[in-house]
Amino acid sequence: MTDSSSHKERSLIRISFQEPSSKSTVLSNVVMTFEPAYFRLLQSGELAYRAEEATKRMSCCDLCGHACKVDRNSQKPGVCRTGSLARMSSFGPHLGEEDPLRGWRGSGTVFFTRCNLKCQYCQNYDISQSDAGQDVGAERLAAVMLELQAMGCHNINLVSPSHVVAAILSALLIAARAGLHLPLVFNTGGYDSLEALRLLDGIIDIYMPDMKYADEQTGLRYSHVKDYPAINQLALREMYRQVGDLALDWNGLATRGLLVRHLILPNNLAGTAFITRFLAEEISRDTYLNLMDQYRPSYHADQFPELNRPVSVEEYRIALGETRASGLWRLDRGGLY
Ligand code: SF4
C-alpha cells in the first residue's frame, strides 16, 4: 500500500494496520462497541427458529443453487455429498485474508470439506473435493467458534459454507448463548440459493461471495454448475440488500457489508469486464472488491489447455483497466490509483 494515495478509503485501511500504540485499549473499545447482527435474533428467539427451519429444509434440500431436493436428514446426499452434519477440515487464525478481515490477529477461519462447486482448477482441491476432515456436531462447531474468539481472531470466517448452513446456524445458537460476539463472514463460492440466504438475513454480518463467471457455459464447463451467472447475481443482490456496502470500524476492520472476490482467469474466461460492470451498475459503485491475480493451474486444470497457465501481466493490466472503467474504486490491497 503506497503512501501517495489521497483516497479516503485507502487511508482508513492503512491506518488500521499500523500497530496501535495501546492495542489492549483499542481491542476493548472495539469489543465494547460492536454488536454482531445475530444478537438481536438470539434475544428474540428468531435464531433458534432459523436453525430449526434450516434443518427442516435439509429434508428436501434447496440450501444452495443446485436445489437437489434430496433428504439429507436421512443421510441421502446431493451434489455436495454431505449429510446432516458438517465436515470440517481445519480451523485457525488466517493472516492471508483481505486486509479488513485479517487485521493484526487474523481472521478466524473454519474450512469446511466438500464444496458445492466442482471447480476443475481449485487450488484447495484437497479440502474442497475430498472427504478429508471430521464430521462435527453443533456443540463441537460452536466450541471451535469460541476457541477462535479466545485466540483473539477478529471474526469467524466460514469458508465454503453454502452446503452446511443448517449446521452453522445450530452451532451459532450454542456459541452465541455462550458468549460469541464476533462478526460472521460468509465466505462463499457464490452459488447460494435465496432460500438459504433468507434464513441468514440478520445473522451474517459480512458476505464475501465469489463472482466467478459471467457466462453460463463457462460455469458448467469449469465448475459443473448450471446457471452460475443467474444464480450468482441473484445471490449478490440479496446479500447486498441485507448488509449493504462494506463498513469498516475506526480501526479498519470490517464490521458489516459485502466484500466480493473475483479471480481473473487466463484468456478472459471469467468475464471480468461484465462482472465489474454488473457490480458497479447493479449492486453499488462502492462495492469493496478483491480483484485476484493469483491464478495458478491446479487440480484438473491440465485437462483444459486454455486454463493451463497463470494469468499474464498484460491480462492483469487489462482487468485493472476494465475495473477502472466500470467505476469501482474500493479495491483490496492498495486500490487502482
Ligand atoms: S446443499 Fe446444495 S448440493 Fe448439497 S444437497 Fe443441498 S442443494 Fe444439493
How far, in Å, is the centroid of ligand 1 from the Cα of 81? 8
Q: Burial-class residue 87 by CB neighbours within 10 Å (0-12, 13-18, 19+).
A: buried
- Residue 291's φ and ψ, nearest 5 degrees, are -90, 105
Reduced to 3 states (helix: H, G, I; strand: E, B; else coil), residue 274 is helix
Residue 18: inside a domain: no
Q: Which domain holds residue 259?
A: 26-74+84-331
Output the residue whose Cα is nearest ligand 1's atom 2.
64
How far, in Å, is the centroid of ligand 1 from the Cα of 291? 28
Residue 13: inside a domain: no
How far, in Å, is the centroid of ligand 1 from the Cα of 114? 11
- Residue 208's φ and ψ, nearest 5 degrees, are -130, 80
The closest-lying atom of ligand 1 relative to the alpha carbon of residue 64 is 2
Instruction: Give how far Cα 109 sits from Cα of 26, 105, 133, 244, 299, Å.
Output: 22, 12, 15, 23, 23
Output the residue whose Cα is nearest ligand 1's atom 7.
67
- Residue 295, all three cell numbers: 491464478
CB 117: neighbour CB atoms within 10 A?
28
Does 64 sit in the ligand 1 pocket, CB within 6 Å?
A: yes
Are 229 and 216 in contact by the 8 Å Cβ rule? The answer is yes
Residue 244: inside a domain: yes
Contacts of 215 by beta carbon, 8 Å cutoff, 6+ apart: 229, 271
Residue 180: inside a domain: yes
Does 116 sit in the ligand 1 pocket, CB within 6 Å?
A: yes
Does 206 sit in the ligand 1 pocket, CB within 6 Å?
A: no
- What's the whole-model pTM score? 0.89
Contacts of 25 by beta carbon, 8 Å cutoff, 6+ apart: none
pLDDT for 335 equals 47
Indicate the pLDDT class of residue 196, thresholds 50, 70 and 90.
very high
Q: What is the pLDDT of residues 155-179, one digit of tens each?
A: 999 999 999 999 999 999 999 999 9
Q: How many domains does the chain have?
A: 1
Q: What is the pLDDT of residues 9-44, one digit of tens each?
A: 222 222 222 333 333 333 334 444 689 999 999 999
Reduced to 3 states (helix: H, G, I; strand: E, B; else coil), residue 112 is strand
Residue 249: inside a domain: yes
CATH number at residue 283: 3.20.20.70
Residue 164: inside a domain: yes
Residue 8: inside a domain: no
Residue 21: inside a domain: no
pLDDT exceeds cutoff 60 at 239: yes
User: Best substitution site from 59, 60, 63, 75 to test ligand 1's pocket, by max atoms within 8 Å of Cβ?
Assistant: 63
